[in-house]
Amino acid sequence: MHVASELTPFAKTGGLGDVLAGLPPALAARGHEVVVVLPRYRHIAERGLDSTLARRLRRFPVQLGPETIEVELWEGPLGASQRCRVWLVDHPASFDRDGMYGPSGGGGDWPDNARRYALFCKAALAIADQLDWWPDVVHAHDWQAGPAMIYAKSPPSHRPHPRRVFTVHNLVFQGYFPEAVIEELGFPRSGFGLDGYEFYGQVNFLKAGLTYAEHVTTVSPRYAREILSPETGHGLDGLLRTLGKRLSGVLNGIDDHVWSPARDPYLPRPYDAHTLWEKKQNKQALQRELGLAQRADLPLVGSISRLSVQKGTGLLLEAMPRLLEDGLQLVVLGTGDPDLEAAMKKLAAAHSDRVRVHIGFDEGLAHRITAACDLYVMPSQFEPCGLNQLYAMAYGSPPIVRAVGGLDDSVVDFDGKSGSGTGFKFGANTDVALEAAVRRAMIVFRDTRAYTALQRRAMSQDLSW
């Protein structure tokens, strides 16, 4: 049983949703029986995403602290295998709202997020018990599912203890709440301490996941090491160091039913490593769509990301004006920090002949950019794994990445002499280092033979789960 707050296409703000859509079907293909549990957010029905699901004609009582709360269940298949299912926990008072983690127009988090997500986690186990589908393993993801580790450690007395795995997709988001929620959520008082879910006098959902799990994973081996140091441990490095062998890094894979250039329904012209001329048609089509000059000779650089400090948006903004003088086109798709959104729009306005910035979340455009661009840029300050560089490689769009976390683990730096590598890496967290890496990539782009070989190497990797 996977417990998570996102699952593509039902609910997605980033890579977490993609992982939950890719990993469980891959496990099912190996013969496991897998259920992914997700809240039934309002937009799921609004957008008709639940057309493959059916509502159970019964209610499920869930004991949350002193209260008994009734939830309903929607369920259906996930992916091609009969062995993989999705369960949507329906509790309108918690999830029938405009926005997943907070009001969709911005304005922070919902004030009752502790209760919303604890109820969701408790409901996952209560439903499993009442349907007599008791899991052998409960695998919880990120802070929203941290309470599942606490609840799974104390199962109903007639049930065996499931094994408990917790995956950290991003250590920055921890979910802090006041001590007063402990009784309401039915957390054990004894756990409110250094070795438990307490963090500087508050309840910390991510720390609950880390301390109540039997094994903790992160989404790349390098990130698993990086978070052991105080600079990148976000206050939890001490605890993480004590985990020893109970902490490991497993690099994310990609769901190649969704991210494969040969059968991507969003693309005007599907292609593979042997039909790369078709990829050029996708570039032309995107240039036309966005009103950019139809230039095959200018490298088109793509970026799809949350506009945030993590993603290195600032570095891109600083390096780009200089790089644009040298002749490249830039297409950015993103949402996030309002200041960074404004700065991106300003960049586009100042270079309207070469830059297009689309502020918004658009799955189809993300696919079209990934296919159309000649180079994909991802200058993250830190990156637990990152999926866009994997998608870019699968689509023959060599990524330019900062050598951190999963970016370092998944991309091999181009080496012209030995004819190896799958992208371009740089080390320093500076715009100058980014600029140098992009210039290096532009030189290779102009060398058709070397560039095509690079594309083919990137595309021939097995990046699946």
Which residue's CB is nearer to ligand ADP, number 304 or number 458?
Answer: 304
What ranges make up the beta strands (E) of 91-239? 137-141, 163-168, 176-177, 198-199, 202-204, 215-218
By CB under 6 A, the count of residues binding ligand GLC is 14
Q: Using alpha carbons only, what angle is made at residue 315 by residues 314 and 321, rounded to the nearest 5 degrees? A: 100
Which residue's CB is nearer to ligand GLC, number 130 or number 429?
Answer: 429
Which residue's CB is nearer to ligand GLC, number 39 or number 386?
Answer: 386
408 binding ligand ADP? (CB under 6 A):
no
385 binding ligand GLC? (CB under 6 A):
yes
Contact present, 87 and 37 (Cβ < 8 Å): yes
Q: Is 250 exposed, middle or buried (0-12, 13-18, 19+ CB in 10 A)?
A: middle
Which residue's CB is nearer to ligand GLC, number 56 or number 234?
Answer: 234
210-229 binders of ligand GLC (CB under 6 A): 219
Which residue's CB is nearer to ligand GLC, number 252 or number 287?
Answer: 252
- The DSSP symbol for 11 reads B
By CB under 6 A, the count of residues binding ligand ADP is 18
d(CA 428, CA 422): 20
441 binding ligand ADP? (CB under 6 A):
no
Residues 6 or more apart whose CB falls under 8 angstroms from that of 359 comprise 334, 335, 341, 344, 345
305 binding ligand ADP? (CB under 6 A):
yes
347-366 binders of ligand ADP (CB under 6 A): 361-363, 366
Which residue's CB is nearer to ligand GLC, number 125 or number 340?
Answer: 340
Interface residue with ligand GLC, options 146, 209, 384, 421 (CB under 6 A): 384
Q: Closest CB to ligand ADP belongs to which residue?
A: 15
d(CA 354, CA 347): 10
Alpha helices in 326-362 (DSSP H): 338-350
Candidates 73, 77, 69, 7; CA nearest to 38 is 7
Beta-sheet pairing, 247-249 with 300-307: unpaired
Which residue's CB is nearer to ligand ADP, number 38 or number 366?
Answer: 366
25 binding ligand ADP? (CB under 6 A):
no
Contact present, 299 and 389 (Cβ < 8 Å): no
455 binding ligand ADP? (CB under 6 A):
no
Candidates 168, 122, 124; CA nearest to 142 is 168
* String marking each residue 156-195 x if it binds ligand GLC according to CB under 6 A: -------------xx-------------------------
Residue 216: CB minimum distance to ligand GLC, A: 14
Contacts with ligand ADP, residue ranges (CB under 6 A): 14-16, 18, 304-306, 333-335, 361-363, 366, 385-388
